[in-house]
Structure 1
Amino acid sequence: MASLPPPPLVSVSPPVPPYVVALADDLSGAAETARALGGPVRLSLDAADVAEITATQDLVVDLDTRRLSPAEAADAVRTALRAAQAGPPRLLYKKVDSQLRGHLAAEAAAYAEGAEAVVIAPALPALGRTVTGGVVHVKGVPLHLTDGWRAERASAPRSLAEALSGLPVRTVPLDVVRSGPAALGAEFRQIAASGAHPAPDAETDADLDTVAAAALRLGPGFRLLGSGGLAAALGRALPRPAVGTSPPAPSPEGTPLLFVVGTAEPGAVAQIAHLTALGAHHVPLDPADLAAGTVRLPPPAAAPALTVLSIDGSGGTRPGTGRALSTALGALAAAYPGRPDLVLTGGETARTTLDALDIRELEPLGEIHHGAVHSRTPDGRRVVTRPGSYGAQDSLLRIAVALRPRLAAATAAT
């Protein structure tokens, strides 16, 4: 009897681990990623924690690389990757800024080492940040024509390829993205075989869902790099237990609430105005006084229940001074009397404040609005982090009401 022909060989990708190690370059982005992934999560401010992966949960680590040189930032990514790969299998994710700020080229190149390819998708449709033709757009305007880089030393890149200079990138048009995960995965594999890294266009969350699904079909050798939008798509695609969404208990009566606004975004002025209309005490800080350490805090008995500290930007922004001012602002916030709950806008401000308080870990509790992540410190203090460029005019007001529900009646009366 004639023997049957052998079955055809089928290429099978390695199984994808159900949990993620995500590396972020600033704290507000790390918190955004922790909530976006949607599963059980640990949010750490200590890069050494990457070597301590044991539990069945995601780990998101703020590497705090914005303050470093490009070479130092790349080394921090490499060190974290080595630690992650020495532990139990985890899916790797690199969180980057949706407006391409930070040491993107250096960190992406380090992240790509040892990977079959890196799938690059920084679109964040929830905030109108899309990618078409390999160009990041903010509400339809190409990034380099916006003022999103006003506080940076350099000009905004005109394309992803320019932002990732030195890393071979190939744009994947929107029609290919929308052809479905199987076809898109085949395109990713073909691009990887050519020695390049795929950068798919995306305008909607559905596009990012397709990107994540296509990458997961190819196994963990294809690493993901993107904003909170792609992190959320990854969370939706992975089969993990959902996290409960019951509202956390309020802070003890009388706990002060301190807003620390370290962003240079023009919209911050209007956001603060909503709080002052509610009776908040606003302290605009002169940058020179802040840097010199001559700002005086109120005595404990006189500390208002609701206070806003912000850097006075009326004299214009001086690129390159952000970290020094954030460090001084963080130290001032840490010394504020009454052990207040904290609302920290801007990743550098959030990090320097928590560093000054020696807080090394946060437990995410929920999201007040996109990117405004409500967390708890190990000793029970409430902290909300939010990227500086996020939020409508009522962003800070919504956060205040979420943390102090009794303010809702006063808000309705204004």
Structure 2
Amino acid sequence: MASPPPPPLPSAPPPVLPYVVALADDLSGAAETARALGGPVRLSLDAADVAGTAAAHDLVVDLDTRHLPPADAAHAVRTALRAARADPPPLLYKKVDSQLRGRLAAEAAAYAEGAEAVVAPALPAARRTVISGVVHMNGVPLHHTDGWRAERASAPRSLPEALSGLPIRTIPLDVVRSVPAALDAAFRRIAASGAHPAPDAETDADLDAVAAAALRLGPGFRLLGSGGLAAALGRALPRPAAAAPPPMLERDHTPLLFVVGTAEPGAVAQIARLTVLGARHVPLDPADVAAGTVRLPPAAAAPSLTVLSIDGSAGPRPGAGRALSTALGALAATCPGRPDLVLTGGETARTTLDALGIRELEPLGEIHHGAVHSRTPDGRHVVTRPGSYGGEDSLLRIAVALRPRLAASTAATRTCHRPPPA
């Protein structure tokens, strides 16, 4: 008589996937990071949420430190890192501006305490690269562009200058693109010297190599970079797919409010594409906004598309950004009809949501690079976008994505404005 088959061996438990805690210095960057990571994620506007992270979800927190004094920004990073201690520990990520704005040196130094910070702010999707430790925009060194025109200071000439006080050593592209062992050895050699590695990068593949090396070397190496490096981390980690967003219900009768808080010259052309569709553009005098003397019309008089923007005809106002953003956000919060929101510029996005009492967003998708479509807990739809992102049709593409009925009007407009054949 045959022996009964042996009982099946117990299956191995599924591997515990490390979850990510990402810290951003502004809201549009936080939203960009949340989409870049790729899996289930919470996007919080409350730094206290770091302590309550559940391992089932990655967490991205906007620390809202871009406007703070350097010491206060560093303190916020240290506080968040202490709150993030858990068993098992999360993977840490620090989102920084690809143009090196904000309190980069102070926050990077705080983030690097007790670990090696791998500094890689390249963002290939926006044609922002790092060569020989110098950030380039469309092939031009950052300090030769106008990317810092609204800042009080001049753009740094290199990563070592931007991170003054944090010793870093650059790693050339040929090492980044070499075999993994060579890149790992470069990271270890720089760490042994008391410095932090800053690898060059031109492509997403370069950033993939950087993220993979940091993961191989373990939790003693922490990633610090733009949305490009966050996307590389997301590609490197095994992640369950984010839940598909429910179909968007028809919202044609819900007003759509664009709050353009960027000083970028391209914003003028972006707004013009909306006014062709019948959007009402309300350019606001900065002095009136700051004084709180602007009043919006009642709901009955409000069109379905409204654009609020700061009149930039007098040029940028270095150092005045936060005060204007706060006043602009407070004004936008009074807009009648509970509109869906399109918010450009991280400070404008944050101050508008703060004025509305919104503390969390659920990312749903990306309309174009950096234009992240989210939903609030009470069902309002919000798109955030860094001020420097997007072509001339950026706001138009966002409007059509949120209000598909506008696609026909857009097509008709293109036909009417098509130049006659030669």
Bucket of the pairwise TM-score, normalised by the shorter protein: over 0.9
Mapped pair 1:223 → 2:222: yes
Mapped pair 1:181 → 2:180: yes
For the 8 Å contact 2:18–2:55, the answer to whether it is kept is no
RMSD: 1.2
For the 8 Å contact 2:19–2:55, the answer to whether it is kept is no
Deviations 1:337-393 (A, max 9, x none): 000000000000000000000000000000000000000000000000000000010
By how many angstroms is 1:242 displaced? Answer: 1.5
Q: State the match for 2:420 in structure 1.
A: none
For the 8 Å contact 1:120–1:224, the answer to whether it is kept is yes
For the 8 Å contact 2:251–2:403, the answer to whether it is kept is no
Q: Distance in 2 between matches of 1:206 and 1:180?
A: 13
Aligned CA distance change for structure 1 residues 180 and 82 (closer, same or farther; 3 Å): same
Q: TM-score, with normalisation over the residues of structure 1?
A: 0.95
By how many angstroms is 1:86 displaced? Answer: 4.0
Q: Distance in 2 between matches of 1:260 and 1:87?
A: 42
Q: Aligned with 2:219: secondary structure?
A: coil
Q: Distance in 2 between matches of 1:377 and 1:97?
A: 25
By how many angstroms is 1:251 displaced? Answer: 4.8
Identity, % of aligned pairs? 85
For the 8 Å contact 1:181–1:211, the answer to whether it is kept is no
Mapped pair 1:199 → 2:198: yes
Q: Distance in 2 between matches of 1:319 and 1:17?
A: 44
Q: Distance in 1 between matches of 2:171 and 2:246?
A: 41
By how many angstroms is 1:245 displaced? Answer: 4.4
Q: State the match for 1:166 in structure 2.
A: 165
Mapped pair 1:91 → 2:91: yes
For the 8 Å contact 2:22–2:94, the answer to whether it is kept is yes
Q: Distance in 2 between matches of 1:44 and 1:170?
A: 33
Deviations 1:122-158 (A, max 9, x none): 0000000000000000000000000000000000000
Amino acid at match of 1:135: V
By how many angstroms is 1:316 displaced? Answer: 1.0
Q: Distance in 2 between matches of 1:48 and 1:351?
A: 16
Task: Within 5 Å, give how 1:67-78 maps onto structure 2.
Answer: 67-78=67-78
Q: Distance in 2 between matches of 1:347 and 1:252?
A: 25
Q: Distance in 1 between matches of 2:304 and 2:53?
A: 40
The total of aligned residue pairs comes to 399
Task: Within 5 Å, give how 1:316-355 maps onto structure 2.
Answer: 316-355=315-354
Q: Aligned with 1:114: secondary structure?
A: coil
Aligned CA distance change for structure 1 residues 178 and 405 (closer, same or farther; 3 Å): same
Amino acid at match of 1:59: L
Q: Aligned with 2:307: secondary structure?
A: strand
Amino acid at match of 2:303: P
For the 8 Å contact 2:176–2:206, the answer to whether it is kept is yes
Q: State the match for 1:100 in structure 2.
A: 100
Mapped pair 1:405 → 2:373: no
Moved over 2 A (4+): 15-18, 244-248, 250-253
For the 8 Å contact 2:326–2:351, the answer to whether it is kept is yes
Q: Distance in 1 between matches of 2:321 and 2:179?
A: 43
Aligned CA distance change for structure 1 residues 361 and 87 (closer, same or farther; 3 Å): farther
Aligned CA distance change for structure 1 residues 385 and 248 (closer, same or farther; 3 Å): farther
Q: State the match for 2:61 in structure 1.
A: 61
Q: TM-score, with normalisation over the residues of structure 2?
A: 0.93
Q: Aligned with 2:84: secondary structure?
A: helix
Aligned CA distance change for structure 1 residues 359 and 88 (closer, same or farther; 3 Å): farther
Q: Distance in 2 between matches of 1:89 and 1:98?
A: 27
Q: State the match for 1:394 in structure 2.
A: 393
Q: Distance in 1 between matches of 2:261 and 2:226?
A: 21
For the 8 Å contact 2:17–2:238, the answer to whether it is kept is no
Q: State the match for 2:30 in structure 1.
A: 30
Q: Aligned with 1:31: secondary structure?
A: helix
Q: State the match for 1:11 in structure 2.
A: none
Q: Distance in 2 between matches of 1:192 and 1:157?
A: 24
Q: Distance in 1 between matches of 2:86 and 2:408?
A: 53
Q: Distance in 1 between matches of 2:245 and 2:59?
A: 22
Amino acid at match of 2:73: A
Mapped pair 1:356 → 2:393: no
Q: State the match for 1:214 in structure 2.
A: 213
Q: Distance in 1 between matches of 2:354 and 2:104?
A: 24
Q: Aligned with 2:335: secondary structure?
A: coil
